[in-house]
Amino acid sequence: MTNFKLDSRLANDCFILAESEQFVFLLMNNSLVPWFILVPKTDKTELHELDTITQTLVFNAINKISDFISNEFKPDKLNVAAIGNIVKQMHIHIIARYKTDAYWPGVVWGASEKQAYESVEVDKIKEKLNNILEL
């Protein structure tokens, strides 16, 4: 999509880890849980609105990020969701959850307890993810 612009709320709350022709890969600036966001470069707001080829690309990217999170962070559970009640731009949350995390067993959305990442941590995650994505 040539006129793609990342929603300002995602841009303000996240670090851009990588970008491809089809996606922007984000990391939520909250080190309490490894929280990644995949943003397809589309004007569609719902997954079912995507054509079959784009749906396949989205789910392949979700799987890559999920595998990355599972291998790097060893979570007890992965949460994958495309909610978009506040940010209409299509985006998919892929979050590592632990029985010991600050939010367990509740949801992470809208929680007030947060801890910003150190830039060194973000750089390490970015490097590792980019190696997996092969962009």
- Written out in words, the top-level CATH class of the domain with range 8-133 is alpha beta
pLDDT of residue 3: 85
Of 9, 66, 68, 62, which is closest to residue 40 (Cα–Cα)? Answer: 62
C-alpha–C-alpha distance, residues 40 and 91, integer Å: 7
- pLDDT, tens digit, for every residue of 76-127? 999 999 988 889 999 999 999 999 999 999 999 888 899 999 999 999 999 9
Structural domain boundaries in the chain: 8-133
